[in-house]
Amino acid sequence: MAKVLMKGNEAIGAAAIKAGCKYFFGYPITPQSELPEYMARELPKVGGVFLQAESEIAAINMVYGAAGAGARVMTSSSSPGISLKQEGISYLAGAELPCLIVNIMRGGPGLGGIQPSQTDYFQATRGGGNGDYRLVVLAPANIQELADLVIEGFDIADQYRNPVMILGDGMIGQMMEPVEFKVPKKRELPEKDWATTGTLGKRKPNIINSLYLAAEELEEHNKKLQAKYDEIRRKEVKVESYNIEDADVVIAAYGTTSRIVRTAIAKLEREGYKVGLIRPITLWPYPYDEFNKINDNCKGVLTVEMNAGQMVDDVKIAVEGRFPVYFYGRTGGMVPTPDEIVGKVKEIYGGEK
């Protein structure tokens, strides 16, 4: 299929349909509404169902029902709406149901604003709902990668019976770039023999559930979940690095922020600075090991985020005190400029070269 120019939000929808997703339940919120609008237009054409729910809470619970019935299903929202969905997300994780959840982040807290931000990193990677659970969190930096990760995200969800979150921001949702919808590499996906499709009198009832009243049973269930999360940690880490073996300063950034960092790095290189980049593509599982490849002479690791410092906690865990860790961030929907990042790197160098 040839390249087309598409808005991020619409590319998510097109990729999802390409991945065989036929069901979308959602509620309007800026800056992601182009996605439900796209699905409302396109899903009926492939025999699917788009349904605008009465609330974010209802939408995620419709996803719970549809996923339990064995369907490829998704929802999307933006920060305050994702907060509302947390109850359902916890139930989905507890009942081990596969689905795709898209968060096109905007500034917070509370109603916040509508401009791009990365303030839901903690919520996405630490679990915004109750209980010991994890989402696989994918953070695309451009629209091609966004489409690829949406398609692969459904497979990851099915393979591990776990919700997968696409964590983007208003910038990637709203911007247009060329994109091609590629057939993903096939994963071995287990049969959904647990789905509630009616017993037809041929098997025992299937039950979709996250309730275990006996402490012993609930602990066993948790052990099973943790073993699954360990497997995901071993097999599903995705990261892109640039020049970390040689860099004086390494910058850690994800999503759209990593693009601004790249522009800053190009500028710094022209001035003779050696700057590397670690760009986590999976925010959970986090690519902690990648930071071990940073050369010993590195002066420090700078984390750049569109928030007040969230991923920087994971960077600190990753470097285990080997290097000083610095942070630069903008909040409220303000986007850091390449020059601001250049200035911060020069500060770490101890001033102009």
Partner 1 sequence: MEERIIIAGFGGQGVMAIGQILTYAGMIENRHVSWLPSYGPEMRGGTANCGVIISDEPVGSPVVVNATAAIVMNKPSLDKFEPTVEKGGKLFINSSLIDQKSQREDIEVYYIPANEVANELGNARVANMVMLGAYLEVTKIVDLESIIEGFKKVFGEKGDKLLPINKEALKKGAEVVREQMKAMV
Partner 2 sequence: MAVVFKKTRGLTDIPTHYCPGCTHGIVHRLVGEALEELGVLDIAIGVAPVGCAVLAYKYFNCDMHEAAHGRAPAVATGIKRVLPDNFVFTYQGDGDLASIGTAEIVHAAHRGEKISTIFINNAIYGMTGGQMAPTTLVGQKATTAPQGRDEAHCGKPIRISEMLATIDGAKFVERVTVTTPAHVRKAKKAIKECFKTQIEGKGFGIVEVLSTCPTNWGLTPEEALRWLEDNMIPYYPLGNFRRPEEVE
DSSP assigned state of 206: P
- Give the residue, chosen from 10, 14, 29, 31, that forms a contact with partner 1 under the rule CB under 8 A: 31
Q: Which is nearer to partner 2, 64 or 254 (CB)?
A: 64
Supply φ then ψ for residue 238, to 5 degrees: -130, 130
Q: Does 207 bind partner 2 (CB under 8 A)?
A: yes
Give, as ranges, the residues between 115 and 154 that touch partner 1 (CB under 8 A): 115, 142
Residue 250-279 contact track with partner 1, rule CB under 8 A, x = bound? ------x--xx-xx--x-------------
d(CA 100, CA 150) in angstroms, rounded, equals 8
Q: Does 153 bind partner 2 (CB under 8 A)?
A: no
We find the least distance from the C-beta atom of residue 117 to partner 1, in angstroms, to be 13
Task: Look at residue 31 and give the partner it binds from partner 1, partner 2, none, a contact being a CB closer than 5 to 8 Å depending on partner kind.
Answer: partner 1
d(CA 25, CA 75) in angstroms, rounded, equals 5
We find the least distance from the C-beta atom of residue 344 to partner 1, in angstroms, to be 15
- Give the residue, chosen from 53, 114, 239, 334, that forms a contact with partner 2 under the rule CB under 8 A: 53
- On the CB side of 278, CA atoms within 13 Å amount to 32
Judged by CB under 8 A, the stretch of 82-90, 173-181, 185-193, 214-222 that binds partner 1 is 173-181
Q: Does 17 bind partner 2 (CB under 8 A)?
A: no
Q: Is residue 251 within 8 Å of 302, Cβ to Cβ? A: yes
- How many C-beta neighbours within 10 Å does residue 338 have? 17
- Give the residue, chosen from 5, 187, 189, 197, that forms a contact with partner 2 under the rule CB under 8 A: 197
- My answer on whether omega of the bond before 98 falls inside 30° of 0, hence cis, is no
Q: Does 192 bind partner 1 (CB under 8 A)?
A: no
Measured N-to-C along each axis, helices 255-270 and 338-349 cross at an angle, to the nearest 10 degrees, of 60
Please name the helix (run of DSSP H) or strand (run of DSSP E) that holds residue 177, with its range, or none: strand 176-179
Q: Does 225 bind partner 2 (CB under 8 A)?
A: no
DSSP assigned state of 45: G
CA 137, 70, 90, 107 torsion: positive or negative?
Answer: positive
CA distances from 179 to 140, 143, 144, 150 (A): 13, 6, 5, 13
Q: Does 13 bind partner 1 (CB under 8 A)?
A: no
DSSP assigned state of 303: E
Task: Look at residue 177 and give the partner it binds from partner 1, partner 2, none, a contact being a CB closer than 5 to 8 Å depending on partner kind.
Answer: partner 1
Q: Is residue 177 within 8 Å of 148, Cβ to Cβ? A: no
Task: Look at residue 51 and give the partner it binds from partner 1, partner 2, none, a contact being a CB closer than 5 to 8 Å depending on partner kind.
Answer: partner 2
- Count of residues that bind partner 1 according to CB under 8 A: 24
Q: Where along the sequence are the contacts to partner 1 (CB under 8 A)?
A: 3, 5, 30-31, 114-115, 142, 170-171, 174-178, 256, 259-260, 262-263, 266, 335, 337-339
